[in-house]
Amino acid sequence: MRALTAVSRFTFPCRVYYEDTDAGGIVYYVNYLKFMERARTERLRYLGFSQAQMATENLLFVVHSSQARYHAPARLDDELVVSAQVEVLKRASLKFYQQVRRASDDVLLCEGHFTVACVHADTLKPRGIPEQLYAAFKADVQDFAGE
């Protein structure tokens, strides 16, 4: 099956809290990954799919690989906008391109690529993305290269 690409952009707002920062008041690098995880989860919820419900149906999404690049720091109390854009849609996995931007000036703070695999919750073996969820992502899919 041919992999599909998408240009649909989903964004999730969040704020930097004290717990997200290091002693210097700057967001600790690993917390950008948490912000991006939340955006992917909210993207699913936006499409009408709850991770809690999917787990009861023996379905999980797990991060297979990740790559992040840091451009500028976020600081305590910054409002952030985190995007979750599907680059590639396959039968058992998705590849997301994500950005974290500061809301006040739209500065790119961090960007990353994440491959997320669909697995059986009990065995952690790969499984196909359920048809309804696949169709929901496919409805947004366009040629990413043409963006």
Whether the predicted pLDDT of 144 surpasses 60: no
CA distance 134 to 44: 11
Whether the predicted pLDDT of 20 surpasses 60: yes
Whether the predicted pLDDT of 12 surpasses 90: yes
Catalytic entry in 20, 22, 78, 122: 22
pLDDT single digits (tens) 45-62: 999 999 999 999 999 999
pLDDT single digits (tens) 125-139: 999 999 999 998 887
Closest CA to 139 of 64, 46, 55, 53: 46
Is 77 annotated in the active site? Answer: no
- Grade residue 7 by pLDDT with cuts at 50, 70 and 90: very low
Mean pLDDT of 8-12: 81
| Domain 10-139 architecture | Roll (3.10)
* pTM for the whole structure: 0.87
Q: List beta partners, residue 88.
A: 95
Domain boundaries in the chain? 10-139
pLDDT attached to residue 82: 98
Whether the predicted pLDDT of 96 surpasses 80: yes
**Contact yes or no for 11/58 (Cβ under 8 A):** no
